[in-house]
Amino acid sequence: MDPKANVNLDAKARQSMMMLKNLDSQFARANSMLQKQETAVRGSAKVNLALRQSALAITRLDANSKMEDIEKQFEEANDAIKHLESTTVKETKNVAEIQSEKEKINEINASTGSTAIAKKTPMVQFRPPPEIVKARKRSEPLGENSPYLPSDVCEGGFLPMTYIDLQYGEIATIDALWVFKEEISEDRLKEGLELLLTELPSLAGRINSKRCGIDLTNDGVPFYLQEASGSWKDFPREIEPRNSYLDKPEILDMFNGTAPVMTVVLTHMMDGGCVLGVTVSHMVAGGNGFFAYVMPRFAAFVRTCDPSAITEKDLGFVKPIEDRRELPQAKRSLEQLQQLIDSLENPPLSFRDLLFGRMKRSVLYMLLRNSRDQNRVFVHFPPEELDAIKNEVLANSDKLKWISTANALAAHLTKVLASLAPNSPATPTQAGLIIDHVNKLKHLPKGLMANTFYLYSCTFDKWINKSTTSEIAEQLHQTVQNVLADPQALIDEMAFEEDCLKWNYQPNPRLKLSIPVIVNNQSKFKPLVQLDFGTGVCEMYVPHKAGDSLLMVPATDRGIDVWLSTVNIFTGNPLYLKTEAFQREMHKYAKNS
């Protein structure tokens, strides 16, 4: 029973006891007042009302029935007291167990580097209206040095997007927070934002869903400057307080062109630190392209305030724009592509299946709704623990001579989830691995500023609980190698999937989509935690809260942060994972490192 309920019942019992005495004294006072009929108080409306109520109560109440009611209330009070005595012991035990579990979890977090939610979360205190920042006037039109080729931008200031971009733009935004221990100058930040918008005019435009693209209207980006209480050191690593430090327009307003496609919020903390929050529509920027390409350029513009000072180092792993022209075009027919997919041992999950097939669009909305902050568990893996996991995988595998950190960690997470689930997977479970073209193909694809990832699956059946982590890692590794073996085929399949959306083409019937575990690996995006706006790199990075089952991002100590959804993101049903067991199993290699 809730401790508050205990207090309420105890108060009710005491109140009943007091009622016995109050009624007896009220009865005596009422008789005395009726007999005296004092003329001095008859002119008072309140006293007259009290006299009439007392007289009416006396005439209606029978003394015997009154005593019976009182005795009944007294018995109920005694029963309540007995119930309180019996439940207090149980509740005390439950509270002790909960406190013990919390202490164990805190001990695990302390030993592994994980951070619990701060006791005193900073609160936003002052937020004036935003200033609208626009791109500077160009002296010449978009040309060779622009991220967009001249052929990408149509006459009349319009940037065409793909049909797939349109679907994402209607359901999702991308946002993130960066915490700094030093203040960023708002003047420099606005100047850098102007330069960014001048180079990427789509970010200052508005979505035109009817034409499937972006009107380059230069309506600008809202820039909010606000203040918050507390220290940047108290800012929680978890995603819970993020909305106070972001400006998130309604997604449909973005999609309809009535709201900006990007917003920026700079929050000054009381101790001199700050928090930078950025939100952008998923239509104008894919997650990988935005974080790997846009944000490093934004930071470089703020540092230098000079576009000519941008170096290749500032662009991270993204290759120069000229590489994009080398990207071959899709040449295969739909029939050839279908034959290719039929021949794959691990065929791709089609965008049609994902968006319009068995899952339906309503499931995507459910996915976003069920990926609430409180349904996520945060786990931090320091570098030495990641090395221990990789060494464990390689030591128990005869097939692997090398494996990426992300694949080793994904195999470890998959094994832990399978072992802790209340029931073994009765049906095949698909693990989708998001592969970004920019990193893998070393090109800057035409859709960089849109969605540049593709989803493949590994299907694990009941054998998953009988398999070792190394065996799971072997299959993940081989699947990725198969995907990357033919870059041209991967490009062709992208075009094929877009055709599936446009022409309602039925995909391979073998691609039946069960409940997937989607692993979004951004752990190699070091620019995420190395952003420098002129005051040093960030102290903390809080990623977007998209519906990925597992989101892996780089940590400031060269480790990896993992956010796990504790609900089935497609159904909303809980996974029933015990946090203590989950934390313990996740860090089972920590002592060996």
Confidence class of residue 6 from pLDDT cuts 50, 70 and 90? very low
Write down the pTM of the prediction. Answer: 0.63
Token pair of 153 as six digits: 């931008």
Q: Which residue has the higher pLDDT, 24 or 123?
A: 123
8 A C-beta contact, residue 516 and residue 432: yes
E strands, 147-218, where? 158-160, 173-180, 206-208, 213-215
- How far apart CA 561 and CA 557 sit, in angstroms, is 10
Confidence class of residue 454 from pLDDT cuts 50, 70 and 90? very low
* Homologous superfamily (CATH) for 124-322: Chloramphenicol acetyltransferase-like domain (3.30.559.10)
Q: Which residue has the higher pLDDT, 326 or 428?
A: 428
**194 contact partners, CB below 8 Å, separation of at least 6:** 133, 134, 135, 136
CA angle 494, 498, 502 (to 5 degrees): 165
Token pair of 283 as six digits: 């239509």
Fold assignment, 330-592: Chloramphenicol Acetyltransferase (3.30.559)
| pLDDT one-digit tens code per residue, 328-374 | 444 444 455 455 445 544 444 443 333 333 232 333 344 444 444 44
- How far apart CA 482 and CA 479 sit, in angstroms, is 5
DSSP state of 290: I
Q: Which residue has the higher pLDDT, 450 or 549?
A: 549
Reference 321, options 330, 332, 310; nearest CA is 310
Token pair of 198 as six digits: 């001048």
Kindly tell me if the per-residue pLDDT of 282 is higher than 70: yes
The distance in angstroms from the start CA to the end CA of the chain is 44
| pLDDT one-digit tens code per residue, 39-75 | 444 444 444 445 455 554 554 555 455 556 656 665 6
Kindly tell me if the per-residue pLDDT of 219 is higher than 80: yes
What integer pLDDT is reported at residue 265 of this predicted model?
A: 95
CA torsion, ordered 179, 180, 181, 182, to nearest 10 deg: -150
**pLDDT mean over 196-210:** 86
What integer pLDDT is reported at residue 184 of this predicted model?
A: 93
**Sign of the alpha-carbon torsion through 349, 355, 361, 365:** positive
Kindly tell me if the per-residue pLDDT of 20 is higher than 70: no
Average pLDDT, rounded, for the chain: 64
Least confident of 275-279, 580-584, 588-592: 588-592
E strands, 437-482, where? 453-460
- How far apart CA 523 and CA 543 sit, in angstroms, is 11
| pLDDT one-digit tens code per residue, 146-165 | 555 555 566 668 877 655 56
**Bridge partners, residue 394, by sequence:** none
Transcribe 90-128 into DSSP letters: HHHHHHHHHHHHHHHHHHHHHHHT--PPPSS---EEE-P
Q: What are phi and psi of 366, to 5 degrees?
A: -65, -40
DSSP state of 485: T
**pLDDT mean over 277-302:** 79
Confidence class of residue 570 from pLDDT cuts 50, 70 and 90? very low
DSSP state of 545: -
- How far apart CA 384 and CA 374 sit, in angstroms, is 29
Q: Would you mind telling me the total number of residues written for the chain in this entry?
A: 593
- How far apart CA 300 and CA 315 sit, in angstroms, is 9
**pLDDT mean over 434-451:** 39
What integer pLDDT is reported at residue 102 of this predicted model?
A: 45
Most confident of 378-387, 396-405, 577-586: 396-405
Domain boundaries, the chain: 3-105, 124-322, 330-592
**Bridge partners, residue 537, by sequence:** 532
Reference 78, options 86, 483, 348, 109; nearest CA is 86
Reference 411, options 395, 387, 393, 432; nearest CA is 393
Reference 295, options 475, 94, 522; nearest CA is 522
DSSP state of 324: G
DSSP state of 537: B
Pairing status of strand 213-215 against strand 158-160:
antiparallel
CA torsion, ordered 460, 461, 466, 470, to nearest 10 deg: -10
Instruction: Establish whether domains 124-322 and 330-592 are of one fold.
Output: yes
Least confident of 128-142, 181-195, 225-239, 450-464: 450-464
8 A C-beta contact, residue 79 and residue 51: no
Token pair of 168 as six digits: 């994402």
